[in-house]
């Protein structure tokens, strides 16, 4: 398990949402609509047997819409957090061809 590859793969999946610019690391600045994959809260090594499962917990995804007080931002965040549709993060993750390992 390599954290950098996981973070980049998540960013690649999110970049498939039209108009969304996402990096696999926290950048110096972000222009909406955009975002980044941040660092995890916890990494646990050797969770099974001698050198088995490593676990990443709490890998934040930060997305920015336009001005937070506007209706457009609310509508954009609503599309991102919907359970389905072309701009749905959940739908994108469920259909993404995640690599093994």
- Which helix (DSSP H) or strand (DSSP E) does residue 14 occupy? helix 3-15
pLDDT digits (tens, 9 = 90+) for 30-89: 999 999 999 999 988 876 666 667 788 899 999 999 877 788 889 999 999 999 999 999
Tokens of 86: 């072309």
The structure's pTM equals 0.86
* Structure letter (DSSP) for residue 99: P
Residue matched to tokens 């955009």: 34
Q: Pairing relation of β-strands 34-37 and 21-23?
A: parallel
Nearest to 23 by CA among 37, 9, 33, 13: 37
């Amino acid at each position: 398990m390599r954290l950098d590859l996981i973070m980049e793969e998540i960013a690649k999946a999110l970049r498939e949402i039209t108009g969304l610019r996402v990096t696999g690391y926290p950048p110096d600045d972000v222009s909406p609509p955009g975002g980044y994959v941040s660092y995890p809260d916890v990494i646990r090594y050797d969770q099974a047997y001698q050198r088995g499962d490593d676990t990443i917990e709490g890998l934040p995804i930060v997305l920015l819409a336009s001005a937070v007080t506007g209706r457009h931002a609310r509508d954009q965040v609503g599309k991102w957090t919907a359970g389905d549709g072309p701009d749905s993060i959940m739908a994108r993750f469920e259909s993404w061809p995640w690599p093994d390992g």
